[in-house]
Structure 1
Amino acid sequence: MAGAVVRERSSELYLRRLLAANDATQALQIATDHVAREIGCPVSWAGLVEGDYLVMGAHHGVESTEMAAAWRLKVGEGIGGRVALERRPQMSRDYRHDSRRVPLMKRLIDNEGILATLIVPILVADVTLGVLYAAHRQPYPWTDAEQVALEQIAHDLGVRLRQLDVDGRRQRLADEAEGRAEQAVRRLTTSARLANSFAQQTDPGVLLDVLARELGARVELREADGTLVRAGGESWPEGSPVSSPERTHFELPDCDGLTLDIVRPDRVDERDQSFEELSVALYRLQLLRASERERTTQRLRGDLFDDLLDGRISDPDSFRTRMVMIGVSPKPGARVLVAGLRHHPRDLAYSDSFERLLRSVIRGVVSVRRGDRLAAILPGGAPDDASLRAQLDDVRARAEGRWIVGLGRSCADLMDYSTSYDEARAACELALRGDVPGTVVTAHELGILGMASLPAAHLRTTVRDVLGRLLELDTERGTDLVPTLRAYLSHDRHLPDTAAALHVHYNTVRNRIARIEAVLDVDMRDVDDRFRLETAVRMQALSAALGHAG
């Protein structure tokens, strides 16, 4: 009874808000938000009929910008297209086994993680205005009650859309589009050279230089926070006759927050402003084209991140521009994380769970799989170590599997990323081997800061020079001198604690230490001897964890 009262009040509130909507866009958004509340689903969206296609009208819970921008379904095709054509509800309980899907929508839906949908038409009399979706990110058994509720929401929405004169709005939009098309035709002669120049290039930096040359101005490409990515054209130094140049700011939609500033020595007339707008629009289209190509190539093959984490950066400025183009901003203070599973190392479902949670808890994380490990770049401006550790512990606790996380140093520039990665990987591998305690460990805590990025040959040589004779004895005679030395040093030379850790008698440890001192000709009381031994022991464990031969 109480649940029915709550639903009735929710429906009343929905109707009041719907009636208060000033335009179709607002009404669609109110409806999709209400679907999520009423049906109890995480995702909802509405598609409006425009000509022969359904286009995105509003959405709730959609995480992918590509889904929101590119969703476009032909009437009669796919599940939603059939709903619009046949004007009756349809559902899919598990998209993975549904043959009605179309390729483009399949990719968008899969990227969004949606596995089940319930779709009803938005009708006024016999006219289909659009379709309304409810969706889950897991297989879901839709009920008749849920279908009835969604149909009622769609019915109320259709009535309100008709009241708002959707058809008149479409006509006005068509008239405006026709007017813009006529203006574009008049500008075509002037813009042909620019368009032709753009068609010959895909490099964003070169495109910026072409734009600056054609406009006869300085053009600045910036990130959302104002950071300059690259500039084309000449600037005016302080003390020049141009004391305060005119600056025109342009947003670049769907370009990861990038903006464009055109800087001129004086104000331009209306005609030049129109040409600027068209030029920026052409630049944005080419930028999207280059960006999408870069995203697809780099994310499929991982070459960019491989180069970054392996330190293969020949031109830092060009490399940084490429990173920004795929939505990664290498800010100072970023850190590299490497995570691995104690069990199920090749189970992608476990990696998906950890990766998804990591991105939801720490915004701006970029991750890539490297073999059986997950490498991630934590953005600059991250919280202090204690807060970051708490966030990572939260991700570990909620993710499937027993995860171990290694953290590298904070990065000041691009060349630091490979060192941070080496340190994070070493810390992760040592923890996975059980050589060190803990589930979130740093290279600094392990005392291997700076060692992880040393060449394998250097590590092997140092270990052999210092511990070579002990390693030979352990191999040839089955002694445990190196493990004893490691335990002895880690317990601050305390014999009882060392004996307890090794599960041997106190005198056994004392005899082994005496033999180690004799074989290596060292004195455990000497600070310099202990430093060399501790360094070699850490290098030996690090080399073994990283899989170096020898």
Structure 2
Amino acid sequence: MTADGTAFLSSLLTSTTSDRAMQAAVDHVVASLGCDVSWTGEIEDDGHLHIRAHTGLQTTEMPAQWRLAVGEGIGGRAAALGITQQSSNYLHDSRRVPAKKMIDDEGIAAVLVAPLKSAGSTVGVLYAGQRGPRTWELGDIATLESAAHHLSVRFEQLGRITRTEFELRGHTRRLVAADSALRSSTELVEALASADSIKAALELTAAVLNLRVELSDGSHQRLTAGPAEELCRGTEASTALGGSSSLFIRLRAAGEEISPADPPIRLALNALRLQVLRLREREMTREEMRGDLLERLLTGRFTDAEAVRRRLALIGLPRLAESSRVAVVDSDAAIEAHASRFVDDVRATFPQSLASHRGTILVLVLATTESEESVSRRLTELIGREEARRSVPKLIVGMGRRATTPHEIALSFNEARAAHSVAHSAESESRNGEETAGADRVVSARSLGLQGLVSMPASQLRATVRDTLGPVLSHDATRGTDYLDTVRTYLRHDKHLGGTASELHLHYNTVRNRVARIEGLLELSFDRPDDRFRAETAVRMLAVLDAVGDDSTEVPPSE
């Protein structure tokens, strides 16, 4: 290899960009071929060849404005065919492109053009030009093609270097990001231990990782923290909360992509999940100990139903706000030490439930979509099991309507309490010693005709009771009679004098005379359907007033 060739290869190897490599090539062509001018044309996005490097040109117009479509002219054909092209008299060549004023201004009359290739495709051409006619020898062609070959090889090398550097920068960037994320995740794990609420845990995670964090049940976002949802269009990572909860945690990126497979993301997700589970269990324990949420549900003393739904979801009981019934169990199950086992049985049957002892009753809020009859059968089995285990007398359960909103739970509770009170009172007052059938162990407000009455204002209930039963209540209060008990028993036995007399332990005629006296006091006849309906309604209203603990349990007599 000549000294000039060695210098050329050295120049190529030290060229760090394609422009420098092309400049080394055109300088070598002029020196080795002894030609007047050389330039390179590179195919750009517009499909034309544009000058990137040149030597020997005398005008500034040609380097700035020369462009040639691939397939046109001598150089364009060399690029299109991938074969070296030559012209000894360019001015009279049939391949000449019309209006080539810039080449004419340079006085170029002969050209030799070799294609430049990289990665198997033509990327440009290498020109050798002469001002004046010239016959190109085989050695000239070999020299130009050799220069074009070496330049093409350098193109591929530079391309690989560029790609490698790009990949390296990408790997470095991801490594730095992973290291930063891992550090952030480590800080998050340490910081989460101090989060005293689920909301605080989500906000802390969003702040440390710069992500949007959502706690959702699929259809509703229960809690969120971090950037706004509309800003988060990138990838996401999620994990189910687990246990009895239907919630799941989702991390969403506002800017950089995240991958659920990235260790820092998995670490953050699992750390947050564990903390949320821990905090949820703590909230559940607090609820069992203090019953703040249940107290608000049973009394209806709250204004933000969505906040109640959110809190129920956070303690793993979202279905309570969507479909539930309240049941009230009498004092035997509430005051005994073994009641905890009964509650455990209830929770095994109804996984989403809340239990609370209120005075001498045990209140159960059961998440269920089953019919009243189905729930009644399951509760009957539970109390039957409890009776067998503890050898206690028959237990009574009152059940309210199905609640489909948080506010309806208070109504269901009042109905359950009224049904329980009426049924328990009837059992206590029974004097015939007969056992009630198992199906009667669970009584509902609907079956007793109490459903809907508990939603009426107490003042309206008292007024109706006073207008209908006032004389009987006054007679019992002033003379010590049991006329109200007679009315209840007589109506419960469907006006059957024999059954009423047997339960009250009175003579048949005594009951008949007493009923007649009561009809006179109330100015009605139990044989008339309207009068009987009024009396039955008033009796049930009075039972509701007694059950819900109304201040005016004893309704004053009418004036």
Category of TM-score, reference length = shorter chain: 0.5 to 0.7
The one of 393, 412, 416 aligned to 2:380: 393
Contact 1:337–1:421 under 8 Å retained in 2: yes
Superposed displacement of residue 210, structure 1: 5.8
Per the alignment, residue 359 of structure 1 pairs with 347
Per the alignment, residue 308 of structure 1 pairs with 297
Superposed displacement of residue 447, structure 1: 0.8
Relative to structure 1, the CA distance from residue 499 to residue 525 in structure 2 (aligned partners, 3 Å threshold; closer, same or farther) is: same
Q: In structure 2, how many angstroms separate the alpha carbons of the residues matched to 1:471 and 1:430?
A: 18
Per the alignment, residue 425 of structure 1 pairs with 417
Q: In structure 2, how many angstroms separate the alpha carbons of the residues matched to 1:231 and 1:264?
A: 13
Relative to structure 1, the CA distance from residue 216 to residue 434 in structure 2 (aligned partners, 3 Å threshold; closer, same or farther) is: same
Superposed displacement of residue 455, structure 1: 5.4
Matched, 1:384 2:377: no
How do residues 113-262 of structure 1 correspond to structure 2 at under 5 angstroms? 186-187=180-181, 190=184, 202-205=196-199, 207-208=201-202, 211=205, 218-223=212-217, 228-232=221-225, 233-235=227-229, 246-252=235-241, 256=245, 258-262=247-251
Q: In structure 1, how many angstroms separate the alpha carbons of the residues matched to 2:523 and 2:421?
A: 32
Contact 2:182–2:264 under 8 Å retained in 1: no
Per the alignment, residue 480 of structure 1 pairs with 482
Superposed displacement of residue 415, structure 1: 0.6
- How many pairs were matched up? 360
Contact 2:216–2:249 under 8 Å retained in 1: yes
Superposed displacement of residue 348, structure 1: 1.6
Superposed displacement of residue 440, structure 1: 0.9
1:80-133, Cα deviation, whole Å (9 max, x unpaired) = xxxxxxxxxxxxxxxxxxxxxxxxxxxxxxxxxxxxxxxxxxxxxxxxxxxxxx
Contact 2:201–2:272 under 8 Å retained in 1: yes
Q: TM-score, normalised to structure 2's length?
A: 0.55
* CA-based RMSD: 3.8
Superposed displacement of residue 490, structure 1: 2.6
Q: In structure 1, how many angstroms separate the alpha carbons of the residues matched to 2:334 and 2:307?
A: 36
1:168-227, Cα deviation, whole Å (9 max, x unpaired) = xxxxxxxxxxxxxx999754655689789968864434554565576665543234x766
Relative to structure 1, the CA distance from residue 523 to residue 257 in structure 2 (aligned partners, 3 Å threshold; closer, same or farther) is: closer
Which range moved further: 419-428 or 485-494? 485-494
Q: Percent of aligned pairs with the same residue?
A: 34
How do residues 2-41 of structure 1 correspond to structure 2 at under 5 angstroms? none
Q: TM-score, normalised to structure 1's length?
A: 0.56
Contact 2:461–2:542 under 8 Å retained in 1: yes
1:395-416, Cα deviation, whole Å (9 max, x unpaired) = 1222122321111111101111
Helix, strand or coil at the partner of 1:230: strand
Superposed displacement of residue 356, structure 1: 2.6
Helix, strand or coil at the partner of 2:447: helix
Matched, 1:415 2:407: yes
Contact 2:212–2:252 under 8 Å retained in 1: yes
Per the alignment, residue 445 of structure 2 pairs with 443
Relative to structure 1, the CA distance from residue 494 to residue 476 in structure 2 (aligned partners, 3 Å threshold; closer, same or farther) is: same
Helix, strand or coil at the partner of 2:335: coil
1:334-367, Cα deviation, whole Å (9 max, x unpaired) = 11111124x5863222x12322322333333332
1:8-41, Cα deviation, whole Å (9 max, x unpaired) = xxxxxxxxxxxxxxxxxxxxxxxxxxxxxxxxxx
Per the alignment, residue 337 of structure 1 pairs with 327
Relative to structure 1, the CA distance from residue 393 to residue 253 in structure 2 (aligned partners, 3 Å threshold; closer, same or farther) is: closer
Relative to structure 1, the CA distance from residue 534 to residue 254 in structure 2 (aligned partners, 3 Å threshold; closer, same or farther) is: closer
Q: Which amino acid in the other structure matches residue 515 of structure 1?
A: R
Superposed displacement of residue 484, structure 1: 2.2
Helix, strand or coil at the partner of 1:522: coil
Q: In structure 2, how many angstroms separate the alpha carbons of the residues matched to 1:497 and 1:291?
A: 55
Q: In structure 1, how many angstroms separate the alpha carbons of the residues matched to 2:209 and 2:290?
A: 37
Superposed displacement of residue 448, structure 1: 0.8
Helix, strand or coil at the partner of 1:378: strand
Contact 1:215–1:276 under 8 Å retained in 2: no
Relative to structure 1, the CA distance from residue 365 to residue 198 in structure 2 (aligned partners, 3 Å threshold; closer, same or farther) is: closer
Superposed displacement of residue 534, structure 1: 1.2
Per the alignment, residue 284 of structure 2 pairs with 295
Q: In structure 2, how many angstroms separate the alpha carbons of the residues matched to 1:523 and 1:327?
A: 55
1:389-437, Cα deviation, whole Å (9 max, x unpaired) = 2222221222122321111111101111111111112222222222596
Contact 1:217–1:234 under 8 Å retained in 2: no
Relative to structure 1, the CA distance from residue 268 to residue 480 in structure 2 (aligned partners, 3 Å threshold; closer, same or farther) is: same
Instruction: Answer with 1 or 2: which has the greater Rg.
Output: 2
Q: Which amino acid in the other structure matches residue 450 of structure 1?
A: G
Q: In structure 1, how many angstroms separate the alpha carbons of the residues matched to 2:422 and 2:470?
A: 21
Contact 2:238–2:269 under 8 Å retained in 1: no
Helix, strand or coil at the partner of 1:354: helix
